[in-house]
A and B are shown apart, each in its own frame.
Chain A
Amino acid sequence: MKFRAKIVDTACLNHFTRVSNMIAKLAKTCSLRISPDKLNFILSDKVASGGVSMWCELEQENFFSEFQMEGVSAENNEIYLELTSENLSRALKTAQNARTLKIKLTNKHFPCLTVSIELLSASNSSRIVTHDIPIKVIPRKLWRDLQEPTIPAAEVSIYLPLLKTMRSVVEKMKNISNHLIIEANLNGQLNLKIETELVCVTTHFKDLGNPPLDSSQNRDPEQMAEVHIDIRKLQQFLAGQQVNPTKAICNVSDKMVHFDLLHEDVSLQYFISALS
């Protein structure tokens, strides 16, 4: 198993740092899948994550100037690792003024992902920061739990409003109740609703637009699809989106809500299961 990659472009480095910051906010521990063309950050719902799962994908050639990997075997040319997401984002935080960043799989007393950063400094001297992030190699028999999720059939698919606005609404609603109802219809309307004995609060978003959806043929555009979820999970998801995405779609069905985001060239799928 071998993995070495290098980033020399500052914009790529900053983008990669933003991705790792987002992952760190979304999942404390996650799996990283390394394949010849892609990197995936995965949170599987088989793990005790309380009904949340995540699949984040990026094309390696959009980030790395050099990328070499050798998987577990020729037929299974992939590497699956488990790591603490915060370690990666902390390591990348020191790469703000970096000339180059190298990541490689090493085994220094224990398996690590070593992030080695050559810093620019005022004088001619070079400074090198190295972070050894401890990892666990995930055995092949567990790989099937970490595959790309099949997108379930949704009743309604709708474009999301500005995430910052959603975040502030959700944060305030969280103080009232943990049970959130998301309603959406094919007329571009999205409602966030909480109901308690004393009070019922609904925030209405209109004219959002709907992406094309196959099953939309026979559905009354005014009819709302609804899903009941734990508001804290939505809050955690929104907290991870520091930058407004290029594209943000929400798919609602009564069993779960699925967020499909695109941050420039990084795609993020986030699933929150309905409350039982």
Chain B
Amino acid sequence: MKCLVAGGNVKVLGKAVHSLSRIGDELYLEPLDDGLTLRTVNSSRSAYACFLLAPLFFHQYQAAAPGQDPLRCKILMKSFLSVFRSPAMLEKTVEKCCISLSASSCRLVVQLHCKYGVKKTHNLAFQDCESLQAIFDPAACPYVLRAPARVLAEAVLPFPPTLAEVTLGIGRGRRVILRSYQEEEADNPAKAMVTEMSVGEEDFQQLQAQEGTAITFCLKEFRGLLNFAEPANLSLSIHFDAPGRPAIFAITDSLLDGHFVLATLSEMDPHGQDPGCPELQRPVPQLQAHSTPLLDDFAGDDMDSYMIAMETTTLGSSREGPRVLPSRSPSPRAPSEDDEAESTVPGTPPPKKFRSLFFGSVLDPAHSPQGPSPVLAEDSEGEG
């Protein structure tokens, strides 16, 4: 693969990487015929993001060497981000950026051609990987909201930067409401301030949803896309469905498009949110990723990320509905400590209630998550 980004697009590429870094720790690069895709997924598999940069985005774009299959790779987000650390500096000093990957080398080479003849070459280690794809279809979502990113950025301004989740819904008079979402914790009686922002229908380019529909998703992850879209003056569409089903946030222009797919809370708090929304009793099956390949992918991962994926999807408090848990594929590395793992890993943004997008297929591609009963496959030993 070889592609050359020139001029102002270098900064755009940098900003896209910054957006993706809000979601996941690994960046999957895959050159396709219709452009270069940069994808990532978060550790609990509840958020997926993808930018597709069309061939026209590049000064030169070659998906693969002639006669060869396109190569794809997975690199540490931190490494790739370090190349584009300061978008402001990129704009001022970088004239061209060349990204290349060849079958023979074991490094992804990113070369920045800067002013005054300075050339910065970054050789980044990568891992071979399979294609990271989430199957989602915005057209299949019954509800759509579309507004200039600026309107949405202004709408989230009143919320504190540390707020994890927000509820978006349609209120009376077809006003779009954003409200801070707080998980009620029995052991923490100190209530937090609740902030609500109400925006009139006239600020939206498209509003196809009834009063009472609402979804709750991770605000921090959404801000990642908003920070990219707002300065670029793009419109942002939100395609969503019932609570529990993933919401798709999309931006598009002639040279690129971006999709952030975020899991939404599957049970609505009976106290808050919009009264019109039906309370779901059963969790709905989530998206399934492209089957088999991901299993191989994770066999190579270190234990920590495997455990995080497990912890954030185990049963929470007893008042939550039954959850589907992955069947654990027997692995020599699965110690019994997993069962005793502490609750949330500090700093993991998606809380326990969020369901994984890639569930069954990650660990057991043959089955898809169904039914209400928890499935926690014990390792071998049983009675008798």
Given A94-B157, A109-B271, answer yes or no on A131-B195 (Cβ-Cβ < 8 Å).
yes
Q: Looking at the assembled complex, report how far the CB atom of A188 sits from the nearest CB atom of chain B, in whole angstroms.
A: 45
Q: CB of A87 within 8 A of chain B? A: yes
B193 touches A127 (CB 8 A): no
B203 touches A134 (CB 8 A): no
- Per-position binary interface string of chain B over residues 212-247, scored 1 when its CB falls under 8 Å from any chain A CB and 0 otherwise: 000000000000000000000000000000000000
Q: CB of B333 within 8 A of chain A? A: no
A123 touches B203 (CB 8 A): yes
Identify which of residues 122-179 in chain B touch chain A, using a CB-to-CB cut-off of 8 Å.
154-155, 157-158, 160
Which of B192, B195, B200, B203 has the most A CB atoms < 10 Å from its CB?
A: B195
In the complex, A91 Cα to B160 Cα: how many Å?
10
Nearest-neighbor residue (CB-CB) of B192 within chain A = A134
Given A131-B193, A134-B192, answer yes or no on A90-B203 (Cβ-Cβ < 8 Å).
no
Q: CB of A178 within 8 A of chain B? A: no
Collect the chain B residues with CB atoms within 8 Å of residue A276's CB: none
Collect the chain B residues with CB atoms within 8 Å of residue A121's CB: 154, 203
B200 touches A130 (CB 8 A): no
B202 touches A123 (CB 8 A): yes
Nearest-neighbor residue (CB-CB) of A124 within chain B = B202
B192 touches A128 (CB 8 A): no
B200 touches A127 (CB 8 A): yes
Nearest-neighbor residue (CB-CB) of A88 within chain B = B193
Identify which of residues 296-354 in chain B touch chain A, using a CB-to-CB cut-off of 8 Å.
none
Q: Looking at the assembled complex, report how far the CB atom of B77 sits from the nearest CB atom of chain A, in whole angstroms.
A: 31
Q: Looking at the assembled complex, report how far the CB atom of A121 sits from the nearest CB atom of chain B, in whole angstroms.
A: 8
Collect the chain A residues with CB atoms within 8 Å of residue B203's CB: 121, 123, 125, 127
Collect the chain B residues with CB atoms within 8 Å of residue A134's CB: 190-193
Q: Looking at the assembled complex, report how far the CB atom of B239 sits from the nearest CB atom of chain A, in whole angstroms.
A: 23
Collect the chain B residues with CB atoms within 8 Å of residue A133's CB: 193
Collect the chain B residues with CB atoms within 8 Å of residue A127's CB: 154-155, 197-200, 203
Nearest-neighbor residue (CB-CB) of A86 within chain B = B193
Q: CB of B186 within 8 A of chain A? A: no
Bin chain A's interface residue count: 20 to 34
In the complex, A128 Cα to B271 Cα: how many Å?
22
Q: Looking at the assembled complex, report how far the CB atom of B208 sits from the nearest CB atom of chain A, in whole angstroms.
A: 18
Q: CB of B194 within 8 A of chain A? A: yes
Q: Looking at the assembled complex, report how far the CB atom of A150 sits from the nearest CB atom of chain B, in whole angstroms.
A: 33
Q: Looking at the assembled complex, report how far the CB atom of B293 sits from the nearest CB atom of chain A, in whole angstroms.
A: 46
Q: CB of A110 within 8 A of chain B? A: yes
Given A123-B202, A123-B203, answer yes or no on A128-B193 (Cβ-Cβ < 8 Å).
no
B193 touches A125 (CB 8 A): no
Collect the chain A residues with CB atoms within 8 Å of residue B154's CB: 121, 127
In the complex, A134 Cα to B194 Cα: how many Å?
8
- Per-position binary interface string of chain A over residues 86-130, scored 1 when its CB falls under 8 Å from any chain B CB and 0 otherwise: 010011001000000000000001101000000001011111111
Collect the chain A residues with CB atoms within 8 Å of residue B160's CB: 90
Q: CB of A132 within 8 A of chain B? A: yes
In the complex, A84 Cα to B160 Cα: how many Å?
15
- Per-position binary interface string of chain B over residues 81-114, scored 1 when its CB falls under 8 Å from any chain A CB and 0 otherwise: 0000000000000000000000000000000000
Nearest-neighbor residue (CB-CB) of B191 within chain A = A134
Q: CB of B196 within 8 A of chain A? A: yes
In the complex, A84 Cα to B191 Cα: how many Å?
10
Nearest-neighbor residue (CB-CB) of B272 within chain A = A109
Residues of A within 8 A of B (CB): 84, 87, 90-91, 94, 109-110, 112, 121, 123-134
27 A-B residue pairings within 8 Å (CB atoms): A90-B160, A90-B193, A91-B193, A91-B195, A94-B157, A94-B158, A112-B194, A121-B154, A123-B203, A125-B202, A126-B200, A127-B154, A127-B155, A127-B197, A127-B198, A127-B199, A127-B200, A127-B203, A128-B197, A129-B158, A129-B195, A129-B198, A130-B197, A131-B158, A131-B194, A132-B194, A133-B193
Report, nearest first, the 6 A-B pairs whose CB atoms are least far apart: A134-B191, A125-B200, A94-B158, A132-B194, A128-B198, A87-B193
Residues of B within 8 A of A (CB): 154-155, 157-158, 160, 190-200, 202-203, 271
